[in-house]
A and B are shown apart, each in its own frame.
Chain A
């Protein structure tokens, strides 16, 4: 400020800016380059044509969207009442209880899935009978804490005077919920949905661990990666990136000021 020479605070941004440029932006540009070129390095859309012509890849895309949708909806149906009850238990004990629900987040997810797989095998005998149901159970188990947290944060901030006003004006219970509480909790729902939908679309490890086989979008990258097929792997990345951009653009309207649930989870 007053000093013209020497150290200035804003210069501290330089190392991080360089890091971001080199290891966040540049990799994306490389992926874009690979996705739109063929082996000879010429511009080509053939990879995309191949992707949308192949029943296997399009099927995988649709299947992972279905898995992600069902997982998200079930997580929401379980998490919403849970977060609601927690938010009504009073500030101190509510926060302590919340901790119980988000604690599994910090246990390595592969170990948690191993545990769940053992239990499911015990109950069902053979996991092969209900592949879809088991996939969903594992996914919900993995992602439920990520849905509860943002919902709880929104619901505790909810101003009770709105609810009281609605009641005073004669609204019935379900009206109060549908017309006051639900609309006011939209930011929490949206950030919870984004935290669950995207990862469950790409988390092929869960399926891989339970069935040794994978039909989820992310697994395509995995298989192209093991075949050193950078071009097709990049195509999948680009398709995933487009979906991510779409969801982020849609959700950013509702979640002003909300940050990713993974931030500040640990006190």
Chain B
């Protein structure tokens, strides 16, 4: 009996979380322009999604931005974490405190403050993408830093000393001994950075070039009354993203389990 109640609860919450996405996915394969209306099977939405330059441009732009920001953040955050880990305690505290700012801060404030600094004070032009990349990087690096630091703490520090005793230079020891040990932290930081950039709306609206749209900013504008064909093409986009996320999570988990059992 108790077990039944537990199961029902779990299913209810899952239904709440997934029903909208799944129902939308179902209708994305029909020619319906509204949910609830029964229409025949159609791949029109997917065709629109992949053949409308405005849509493909926006999707590719978002992906390039996310990968670029994630790479930059991973490099900066990993190197920064290693440096900070071996720094004087006071330096490390200062870095950790500033690192915490974008993490706890509201994204609206982060975006607005970067926007004022770059555009009003430094007069950087928005269409250079510089404010956007810097704004999103400022949001993402702290998360990379936070996922690398625990790995550095867990690392076996004798190996580094051993490498040095065997004739490695500091740089070689760092590259061949330290980095391989913290790879899981680096990859998880990279993944977090990608998802943060893909999900970001606030920093993008304040810092993006007027002619450029990320998925988030595009969808928000599209919901405010636009062509129906675009609206339903976004259902297809939502479905594709859902499938991709499921695949990545399943794959990542397989790899993670293998590593644990090793």
The residues of A with any CB-CB pair to B shorter than 8 Å are 3, 6-17, 19-21, 23-28, 30-31, 34, 78, 81-82, 85-86, 96-97, 99-101, 103-112, 114-119, 121-122, 141, 144-145, 194, 198-199, 201-202, 204-205, 208-209, 212, 218, 221-222, 225, 230, 233-234, 237, 240-241, 244, 248, 259-260, 262-267
A178 to B156, CA, bound (A): 42
Output the least CB separation between A190 and chain B (Å): 13
A266 to B195, CA, bound (A): 9
Q: Does B46 contact A (CB under 8 A)?
A: no
A20 touching B112 by the CB < 8 A rule?
no
A109 to B215, CA, bound (A): 10
Say what secondary structure dominates the interface of chain B. helix
B109 touching A101 by the CB < 8 A rule?
no
0/1 per residue, B176-194, Cβ < 8 Å to A? 0000000000001001100
Nearest-CB residue, chain B, relative to A119? B20
If A21-B98, A218-B108, A221-B109 are given as contacts, then 20 extra A-B residue pairs at C-beta distance below 8 Å, sorted by A number, are A13-B84, A13-B95, A25-B98, A27-B117, A30-B121, A82-B10, A85-B6, A101-B17, A107-B21, A108-B199, A110-B223, A111-B215, A111-B237, A114-B219, A122-B35, A222-B108, A233-B112, A234-B112, A263-B143, A266-B188
A202 touching B108 by the CB < 8 A rule?
yes
Contacts of B82 in A (CB 8 A): 9, 12-13
A162 to B242, CA, bound (A): 41
Nearest-CB residue, chain B, relative to A100? B14
Output the least CB separation between B14 and chain A (Å): 7
Q: Which of B103, B117, B169 has the most CB of A within 10 A?
A: B117
Q: Does B19 contact A (CB under 8 A)?
A: yes
Q: Contacts A9-B174, A13-B91, A205-B220 given; indicate if A116 touches B76 (C-beta within 8 A).
A: no
Q: Contacts A3-B170, A8-B170 given; indicate if A260 touches B146 (C-beta within 8 A).
A: yes
A111 touching B241 by the CB < 8 A rule?
yes
A234 to B121, CA, bound (A): 14
Nearest-CB residue, chain A, relative to B114? A27
A7 touching B238 by the CB < 8 A rule?
no
Enumerate the 7 nearest inter-chain pairs by beta-carbon distance, A residue then B residue, closest first: A16-B80, A13-B83, A12-B83, A27-B113, A115-B20, A266-B191, A110-B219
A218 to B120, CA, bound (A): 20
Question: 29 A-B residue contacts at CB 8 Å?
Answer: A6-B170, A8-B170, A10-B91, A13-B80, A13-B82, A17-B95, A24-B138, A27-B113, A85-B6, A85-B9, A107-B242, A108-B199, A109-B216, A111-B238, A114-B24, A114-B235, A115-B20, A115-B24, A118-B35, A119-B20, A122-B35, A141-B17, A145-B17, A199-B106, A205-B216, A221-B112, A222-B205, A237-B113, A263-B147
A99 touching B98 by the CB < 8 A rule?
no
A23 touching B134 by the CB < 8 A rule?
yes
Q: Contacts A107-B238, A266-B192 given; indicate if A119 touches B23 (C-beta within 8 A).
A: yes
Q: Does B41 contact A (CB under 8 A)?
A: no
Q: Contacts A23-B138, A108-B199, A266-B191 given; indicate if A237 touches B112 (C-beta within 8 A).
A: yes
A262 touching B91 by the CB < 8 A rule?
no
A260 to B16, CA, bound (A): 25
B109 touching A237 by the CB < 8 A rule?
yes
CB-contact partner of A23 in B105, B114, B147, under 8 A? B114
Q: Does B38 contact A (CB under 8 A)?
A: no
Output the least CB separation between A150 and chain B (Å): 14
A110 touching B201 by the CB < 8 A rule?
yes
A225 touching B106 by the CB < 8 A rule?
no
A112 to B10, CA, bound (A): 20
